Amino acid sequence: MTEKREFRAIRGTRDILPADSALWHWFEQIARETLESYNFREIRLPIFEDTQLFARSIGVDTDVVSKEMYTFEDREQFHVAHPLSLVDVIRLDEAVAEAWQRGTIPRTAANEAEVLTLHEACRDIERAGTPAVLRFLDSVRNLALGDSLTLRPEATASVARAYIEHGMQTLPGNQKLYYVGPMFRRERPQRGRYRQFYQVGAEVLGASDAPAIDAEVLEMLLVLFKRAGLENTTLYINSIGCKECRPKYVELLREELRKVVDKLGPDSQRRIETNPLRVLDSKLPEEQAVIEKLPRISEHLCAACRQHFAELKDELHLRDISYDENWRLVRGLDYYTRTTFEVTATGLGSQNAVCGGGRYDGLVDLLGGPAGVKGIGFAIGTDRAILSIQEGGKLPHLPGLSVFIARMGAKAYPVAVNIAKKLRACGLAVELPPQEMKFGKALGLADKLGARYALIIGEDEVASGTYTLKRLADAEQKKLSEDELLEYLESERRGSGA
């Protein structure tokens, strides 16, 4: 007898039900329209990539790579029978040999040795018995049967990989790309933070690192939030230097942190050696006084980085964009350089960041792409943005059910099917119940479903060739011909977005 089990969403994931998905769709549409008005175009990326893509770009010592990625082996499947007969052994040995010849087993030296061991054990099984069987099974288990793949924890590395793979540096101008979709990190779930979370992101890749590019990206981001009704947002900016000045600052910071190591928690102590910049990102109350006394990177920028940051601020003033400087804004990924930024919003508690990003001028080169390609981008946490919109209480008017058709009598059904098809062709949402309902019950259901109108089709309407349209908000109703009905509802749709 099969055990009864209650299945639930995995911890850190959740279902976005229709009542909420309409708001999500609206926000994503606002984002698409805003981004495309700045000449960004959508790129759709794989949901998983080679693990080394993220390890190399994000940094092996980051929390994302060392602790949070969902990684798996893309395995060639071999069925091992239990118990294992000689015929099973021979078939398995032949299957592995064939896969090796096809190249579906990665051609590494270690795999080659295991394939040979497996084949030798196969020949010895009949003579040597159990020891050879065990050696055979060990060889099957030790084969690295596929590439290491990772569900994407972020998408900038994927965009850079696509830029390189498709030779996009040969296309005219900067490549301005955006993406919408889920990301995956094995973090501790909390308010506004999930293990499967969603992002809207944008990237600019090209030959120039002009501060005007950074400023336009920030302008676009704030325009998007304004259109979406996100209020009380704050933009924070910083510069974390370049490959010339940043390493010197990092070493200075490491030396200063070693002097106060006994005043730091375990995570910050570990980061002193692996990634000291991340100590600046600590939220532990007991560490704040110590961090405030540390040297600031703004005091150690090279001349070129100081000029770039100053010109960025001039560009922001030109665009009437207000901001706060935050010297501790370092971001968590290794590929960032120079400009970093973050936007916070109300209603999210301590986890109030809805967007973060920055410049990553060496990433394409790091991944084996053409030298000299510059980049800047951001990612909006859609989950947090939606939560902030909901907390703000100023929800947009979202399109819902426009027309509920209430029909009575056998002759009304063909008429109802026909008019439903025409109304839907006009872009209206129409509900046509599959079975006839009493008039009162039909109107009650229409009201519960939030319909704007009830379209009544009875014997009188069929005989006269007209329809009775009832507006449910105030019970006003009118008789209309088919042409009048279609014209009226189309006009209403254009005016209200219903």
Kindly state whether residue 469 falls inside one of the protein's structural domains. Answer: yes
The amino acid present at 22, given as its one-letter code, is A
More confident residue, 83 or 219: 219
pLDDT confidence of residue 94 = 82
Over residues 306-320, the mean pLDDT reads 96
Q: Is the pLDDT of residue 118 over 80?
A: no
Tell me the C-alpha distance between 194 and 183, whole Å: 10
pLDDT confidence of residue 133 = 63
Same domain as 409, residue 340: no
Over residues 413-428, the mean pLDDT reads 92
Q: Is the pLDDT of residue 328 over 80?
A: yes
Task: Please give the share of the chain, as a percent, with pLDDT higher than 70.
Answer: 89
Ranking 88-92, 213-217, 308-312, 364-368 by mean pLDDT, the lowest is: 88-92
pLDDT confidence of residue 5 = 78
Q: Give CA angle at 54 (51, 55), nearest 5°.
A: 80
Same domain as 359, residue 422: no
Domain with 464 in it: what CATH number?
A: 3.40.50.800
pLDDT confidence of residue 311 = 97
Are the C-beta atoms of residues 217 and 202 closer than 8 Å to each other? yes
pLDDT confidence of residue 144 = 58
Kindly state whether residue 9 falls inside one of the protein's structural domains. Answer: no
Q: Give CA angle at 243 (239, 245), nearest 5°.
A: 65
**C-alpha torsion 418→420→426→428, nearest 10:** 180
Same domain as 160, residue 142: no
Number of alpha carbons in the 13 Å side-chain half-sphere of residue 53: 26
Tell me the C-alpha distance between 307 and 313, whole Å: 10
Coil, helix or strand at residue 339: strand
Tell me the C-alpha distance between 306 and 312, whole Å: 10
DSSP-assigned letters across all residues of 296-323: PGGGS--HHHHHHHHHHHHHHHHTT---
Mean pLDDT over the full length of the chain = 86
Question: Exposed, middle or buried, 375 (CB in 10 Å: 0-12/13-18/19+)?
Answer: buried
Kindly state whether residue 65 falls inside one of the protein's structural domains. Answer: no
Kindly state whether residue 378 falls inside one of the protein's structural domains. Answer: yes
Same domain as 235, residue 164: yes
pLDDT confidence of residue 114 = 77
DSSP run (H or E) holding 255: helix 246-259
Domain with 366 in it: what CATH number?
A: 3.30.930.10
Tell me the C-alpha distance between 123 and 409, whole Å: 80
Tokens, residue 265:
């928690």
Choosing from 333, 365, 392, the residue where a domain stops is: 392
Task: Give the pLDDT band (50/70/90) at residue 358.
Answer: very high
Task: Give the pLDDT band (50/70/90) at residue 393.
Answer: low
Is the pTM for the entire model greater than 0.75?
A: yes
Are the C-beta atoms of residues 75 and 172 closer than 8 Å to each other? no
Task: Provide the domain limits for residue 337.
Answer: 18-48+153-245+301-392
Over residues 377-385, the mean pLDDT reads 94
Tell me the C-alpha distance between 77 and 95, whole Å: 10
Are the C-beta atoms of residues 430 and 380 closer than 8 Å to each other? no
Choosing from 146, 167, 185, the residue where a domain stops is: 146
Same domain as 318, residue 192: yes
pLDDT confidence of residue 138 = 63
Same domain as 443, residue 385: no
pLDDT tens-digit readout, 286-300: 889 888 989 998 889
Task: Give the pLDDT band (50/70/90) at residue 359.
Answer: very high
Residues contacting 366, CB < 8 A, separation 6+: 56, 57, 335
Are the C-beta atoms of residues 200 and 178 closer than 8 Å to each other? yes
Ranking 56-65, 152-161, 306-315, 333-342 by mean pLDDT, the lowest is: 56-65
pLDDT confidence of residue 143 = 60
DSSP run (H or E) holding 344: strand 339-344
Over residues 395-407, the mean pLDDT reads 86
Task: Give the pLDDT band (50/70/90) at residue 82.
Answer: low
Choosing from 349, 366, 392, the residue where a domain stops is: 392
Q: What are phi and psi of 236, to 5 degrees?
A: -115, 140
Kindly state whether residue 30 falls inside one of the protein's structural domains. Answer: yes
Structural domain count of the chain: 3
Ranking 3-7, 67-71, 440-444 by mean pLDDT, the lowest is: 3-7
Tell me the C-alpha distance between 432 and 19, whole Å: 20
Tokens, residue 222:
């704030």
Over residues 419-428, the mean pLDDT reads 92
Tell me the C-alpha distance between 380 and 394, whole Å: 20
Task: Give the pLDDT band (50/70/90) at residue 85.
Answer: low
Tokens, residue 225:
């939030």
Tokens, residue 105:
């087993």
Over residues 479-493, the mean pLDDT reads 86
Kindly state whether residue 294 falls inside one of the protein's structural domains. Answer: no
More confident residue, 189 or 211: 211
pLDDT confidence of residue 137 = 63
pLDDT confidence of residue 196 = 94
pLDDT confidence of residue 189 = 80
Are the C-beta atoms of residues 406 and 449 closer than 8 Å to each other? no
Ranking 70-74, 116-120, 185-189, 317-321 by mean pLDDT, the lowest is: 116-120
Q: Is the pLDDT of residue 81 over 70?
A: no
pLDDT confidence of residue 64 = 82
Coil, helix or strand at residue 185: coil
